[in-house]
Structure 1
């Protein structure tokens, strides 16, 4: 694909991908239609926008009709569709076949793919409080291990019994048995 290809040709190539992509949901199609209607009423009139926002028609059908309509309207309409897609759904915009092909031609060794693909990796969905509680638990165990043998933490038995209240049965048993062993050493 050369850089001389216009937005009209790109939309012809990307139309099948756009119609089959599950991320092109009703909300996104409505946003694109509204943007084209409000900002560029010469591209999409109120009557046409109402037709493409009709919820009784499936989203994939409405999207396919919208893409055909934009191709009939010409180069400027296709360009504005791409602008709207870039604004409202950047991840879809960068995963379009014409954009991927353009990046491959510009960078055949794939050296800049890290900057382009921004993904969020979630290790767990429990949140920061879970992390803080695990960290506190680990720090507490480390303190007990390093300082529990001497006389510095002799009065920690009641504290250990209290702190074991929110733990699982196995962790409670470890805490309480360690506290009991610490009091027997006195």
Structure 2
């Protein structure tokens, strides 16, 4: 595959026509971007024709892609620029973009966008469970009945098992000070 934007648009056209993320609103944004910034690529008359809501979006997009390919290299380049600006997730999922990111052995070095922001694989219920246990222990510690539960400070004597040395010393001294007051 060549490096020209014209050839890339020919290769990506089938994908762009079938992608459901390019709805009427996004196609209109792309047309307006090309018309306002580069009227030599897409004149007012052409933009009005491609924005006609009586024609289905998939047909308008197919005609726009064909029109841009006929206009030449610069028009194709500006289409990619507008696509990158307005619909970044579609731009990065284009077949020509994916093939450029792949290494020679076929392995993609770029992590998928979905996995980039995942902190863990346990999900929100795990977080809510841990948070609920912590809140329950705090409520029991501060508002618990000493006759029913005993002194909550005794729990702190077992707590420092996995903590650093200074944290262990602090918690143990706190439990010892609490025992002297009683």
Q: What TM-score bracket applies, with the shorter chain setting the length? A: 0.5 to 0.7
CA positional deviation for 1:90: 1.1
1:5 corresponding residue in structure 2: 3
Q: Does 2:51 correspond to 1:53?
A: yes
1:108 corresponding residue in structure 2: 105
Q: 1:141 aligns with which of 133, 136, 145?
A: 136
Task: Give, in whole Å, the separation in 2 of the partners of 1:48 and 1:133.
Answer: 58
CA 1:152 to 1:7, structure 2 compared with 1: closer, same or farther past 3 Å? Answer: closer
RMSD over aligned CA atoms reads 2.9
CA 1:134 to 1:20, structure 2 compared with 1: closer, same or farther past 3 Å? Answer: same
CA 1:55 to 1:90, structure 2 compared with 1: closer, same or farther past 3 Å? Answer: same
- Residue deviations 1:111-156, cap 9 Å, x none? 6222xx32255945x9xxxx77972x42243243897511569xxx
1:176 corresponding residue in structure 2: none
Structure 2 contact 101–108 (Cα < 8 Å) conserved? no
State the TM-score, normalized to the length of structure 2. Answer: 0.68
Gaps of 5+ in 2: 154-182
Instruction: Please list every run of at least 4 consecutive aligned residues from structure 1 whose deviation after the TM superposition is greater than 6 angstroms.
Output: 131-134
State the TM-score, normalized to the length of structure 1. Answer: 0.66
Task: Give, in whole Å, the separation in 1 of the partners of 2:79 and 2:128.
Answer: 45
2:76 corresponding residue in structure 1: 78
Q: 2:54 is paired with a residue of what secondary structure?
A: coil
Q: 1:92 aligns with which of 90, 93, 96?
A: 90
CA 1:142 to 1:67, structure 2 compared with 1: closer, same or farther past 3 Å? Answer: same
1:160 corresponding residue in structure 2: none
Gaps of 5+ in 1: 154-186
